[in-house]
Amino acid sequence: MNRVHYNISGLQNAQMKTQVENALEKLDGVQMVNVDFQRGSIEVGYNEFTEESEIKQCIEHVGCEIE
């Protein structure tokens, strides 16, 4: 399993955290999502069916900005 970690801004509340988690979990190949609301970070575990560009696009679509 591949892992990627992002520091993000724009994660304003628990509802937005849930939206990010749900959106990422819908991607084929995403196996693990860990959103740390306090630190403003996201860790995603994924396999070969997912591209890192898809993960970034998904995070930004929800309204967060990758730093």
pLDDT at position 60: 94
Number of structural domains in the chain: 1
How far is Cα 31 from Cα 46, in angstroms, rounded to an integer?
A: 5
Is residue 3 very low, low, confident or very high in pLDDT (cuts 50, 70, 90)? very high
Q: Report the CATH number that the domain containing residue 40 is assigned in CATH.
A: 3.30.70.100
DSSP string, 2-65: EEEEEEEE---SHHHHHHHHHHHHTSTTEEEEEEETTTTEEEEEE-TTS-HHHHHHHHHHHT-E
The range of the structural domain enclosing residue 28 comes to 2-66
Q: Are 44 and 4 in contact (CB under 8 A)?
A: yes
pLDDT at position 19: 94
End-to-end alpha carbon distance in the chain: 24
Is residue 7 very low, low, confident or very high in pLDDT (cuts 50, 70, 90)? very high
Model pTM score? 0.89
Model pLDDT for residues 8-61, shown as the tens digit of each residue: 998 888 898 999 999 999 999 999 999 998 889 999 999 989 999 999 999 999
